[in-house]
Amino acid sequence: MRENASHIPFSELVSVNPPPAGKLSGLVPYVGMADVTNEGRLARIVERPAAEISPGQPCFRDGDTLVAKITPCMENGKGAFVRGLNGATGAGSTEFHVLRPRPGVDPRFAYYCTRSRAFRLEAEAMMTGSAGQRRVPAAFFSRYAVPNRTLAEQQAAADIIDAVSAQERAIEASIAKLRSLRAGVLLRAFSAVEGGKVPDGWTRVALGNVVPRVEYGTSEALDRNRQGLPVLRMNNIHDGKPEVSDLRYVSVPVPARLELRYGDVLFNRTNSIDHIGKSGIWREELPRASFASYLVRVNPDPSLLIPEYLVEWLMHPVIRQRVRSISTVAVQQVNVNPSRLLELEIDMPIERETQRQIVESLHVLDEQINRERTELAKLRKVKLGTVDHLLAGNG
């Protein structure tokens, strides 16, 4: 590396897409695009026979960095620091660039350089190709400048970011533990759902006995014009509640009966097989909103069933499986006929107070999870700011 320059081309720190050291054989560790996260981590490593690895697929080893080259994976942050191969050579998707640190370069420093906002923005600006198939060329790494640091300075910067990353992983582990605890509480509270004898104080009836009617949402065309009425779509339901950060809007008048009201229960009747049946409850997250026809409103009779209990029942793993079993396959999606949904049997406490107690025990855990999520979001902002401050190239 040049001693007097404040910034140097990234390619002086790393070798880009180095060739494999030898011929692959046996079972080869393999990483596809789905095996890395938007946070820049390896989610899993699978194995593939060497015969299935084509000559054009990139190879890597421990200490290398994977960077997604194709849109939108690159912009979303897809990539990973490679570890856990124990001396083996791995192979991956052709949509990865492999960066191998040169001698005298801390591998973590090279990896963290790819996690800055400046790196993503400049890589995006240099993408080539048509829409939907745009890629970052290998030449980008010769043009992108990174801070010129001694090995000791690289290690110090990487140590600081590692410390923040350790806190990040600790919070993620806490969230996972709370989610596991919630799943256990859900399974115990809804044990009657598994079938068999109905407990004392409970009843088992067709859902249609406690949900008087099902209402379809609007079928009007939607757009991004914020002057219209916000409309919830199938991707706006997450973890039992609406997500209103990515909305579409309807520009024509919508009947008043199709506007959402506090406490409305929404059921996703059309989606992929993994997401069909997602449900949530509307808590007036927006002053006014409607819902698209891929969703249906399934409000219960409030004298028999509280809406919060209905949502928890709809999200139960056993019920999600029953919903899948009554779905029909359409083009790239599956659909649930609401009439079939109302035929499913719901197990529920007769007393609404008991229903509330069950829901409250779950919501206490939800509040803890949400607090941890908030802390995680704050920490990730701190981490990104730290990376930008220490490692972003601006030469």
Number of helices (H) and strands (E) in the chain: give both, helices first: 9, 24
Task: Enter the DSSP assignment of 234.
Answer: G
Residue-wise pLDDT tens for the chain (395 aa)?
556 678 999 999 999 999 988 888 899 999 999 999 999 999 999 999 999 999 889 999 999 999 999 999 999 999 999 999 999 999 999 999 999 999 999 999 999 999 999 999 999 999 999 877 899 999 999 999 999 999 999 999 999 999 999 999 999 999 999 999 999 999 888 888 777 788 899 999 999 999 999 999 999 999 999 999 999 999 999 989 999 988 999 999 999 999 999 999 999 998 888 889 999 999 999 999 999 999 999 999 999 999 999 999 999 999 999 999 999 987 778 999 999 999 999 999 999 999 999 999 999 999 999 999 999 999 999 999 999 998 865 55
**How far, in Å, CA of 293 to CA of 160, rounded?**
49
Pairing of strands 328-329, 241-242: unpaired
Pairing of strands 96-101, 90-92: unpaired
Interacting residues of 196 by C-beta distance below 8 A, sequence separation 6+? none
Determine contact, residues 251/232, Cβ cutoff 8 Å.
Answer: no
Determine contact, residues 202/328, Cβ cutoff 8 Å.
Answer: no
In degrees, rounded to 5, the angle at the alpha carbon of residue 74 between the alpha carbons of residues 124 and 105 is 95
Structure-token pair, residue 182: 């919630």
Q: Which domains does the chain have, with CATH numbers?
A: 7-147 (3.90.220.20), 207-350 (3.90.220.20)
- β-bridge partners, 374: none
- β-bridge partners, 238: 241
Structure-token pair, residue 298: 């399934």
